[in-house]
Amino acid sequence: MRTISQQELYSAVADLVIKANFNLPDHVYQALCTMHATEQKPLAKETIHILIQNTRIAAQKHIPLCQDCGAVIVFLQIGTGVIIDGNPIDVIHNAVADTYKKYYLRPSIVQDPLFERKNTGTNTPAFVHTDIVPGNSVTITVYLKGGGSENMTSLKMFTPTAKIEEIIDYIVTAVQQAGPNPCPPLFLGIGIGGTADVAMLNAKKAVLQKEPHPQKEYRALEEEILQRCNQTGIGPLGFGGTHTVGIVRIKEAPTHIATLPVALNLNCHSLRYRSIVI
Ligand code: SF4
């Protein structure tokens, strides 16, 4: 058994929070550049140019990519051969709280969701999801999700007789109805299968996948959804244009014989996340 110290976990999470807030992942930056190069409408092209400039300024001046520094979602893949010293959830919350305070990142979490809605002031709790995997390491992913795009999240419980075309229509309609609210161009994560809760979680995980789906049928579906969403003409920040969605990723899961959940995670152009293996 390998032991990971509280300090090692704390430092890793703090570092990921900083990087996720200030630096877009390379493949997200590249996707914006590709959209800029291929955008047909002048206003849309200029808009993407400004978004790219924003990412450069954030990285150079060490300021947040967006004023909404997000809810902190943490995915932990814990190897069966690892012991984490102490309570890892407490360590993660301390690392998030200290880093948000130190770098003047906006705290955006309220303790009670319905009545008092008082800001915790620390951007905690983080929302931590844990998977147990083989091995003697821990993979940590910090994903920041802004409220504007999170509000556009959608779930539909299809029956197994649903046609692929109905699923595509549902997704394109959701993107259309969201319009400029989630700050397009979007990165779409789609969870298909599982139970309702698993589909929602997989929609979050899907959007963080760099590569298209390895199975050709799902890969073709990702491409079809991308094309159809871009035919809506919503465009960058809703100003009209060729690029409403930059990337579509699907993560599927086994499901009940009577169900076919489809969950949609719309992420804004500022897809902020970082991962490390410790
Ligand atoms: S949706 Fe994204 S870019 Fe828009 S305000 Fe929220 S975090 Fe910022």
Q: How far is the CA of 98 from the centre of ligand 1 (A)?
A: 23
Q: If you average pLDDT over residues 184-206, what whole number do you get?
A: 98
The number of the ligand 1 atom at minimal distance from the alpha carbon of 65 is: 8
Q: How far is the CA of 113 from the centre of ligand 1 (A)?
A: 20
The number of the ligand 1 atom at minimal distance from the alpha carbon of 147 is: 6
Q: What is the pLDDT of residues 37-93, one digit of tens each?
A: 999 999 999 999 999 999 999 999 999 999 999 999 999 999 999 999 999 999 999
252, 236 Cβ separation under 8 angstroms: no
Domains of the chain, each with CATH number or no CATH:
2-23+65-145 (3.30.360), 148-271 (no CATH)
Q: If you average pLDDT over residues 123-147, what whole number do you get?
A: 98
Q: What is the reported pLDDT for 276?
A: 98
Q: How far is the CA of 57 from the centre of ligand 1 (A)?
A: 16
Which has the closest alpha carbon to 1: 66, 86, 85?
85
pTM (predicted TM-score):
0.97
The number of the ligand 1 atom at minimal distance from the alpha carbon of 149 is: 1
Q: How far is the CA of 10 from the centre of ligand 1 (A)?
A: 27
Q: What is the pLDDT of residues 222-253, one digit of tens each?
A: 999 999 999 999 999 999 999 999 999 999 99
59 DSSP β-pair partners: none
Pocket of ligand 1 (CB under 6 A): 66, 68, 146, 148-149, 182-183, 268, 270
DSSP 244-277: SEEEEEEEEEEE-TT-EEEEEEEE-S--EEEEEE
* DSSP at 27: H
- Which residue's alpha carbon is nearest to atom 2 within ligand 1? 268
274, 25 Cβ separation under 8 angstroms: yes
Tokens 């969403």 sit on residue: 229
Q: How far is the CA of 58 from the centre of ligand 1 (A)?
A: 14
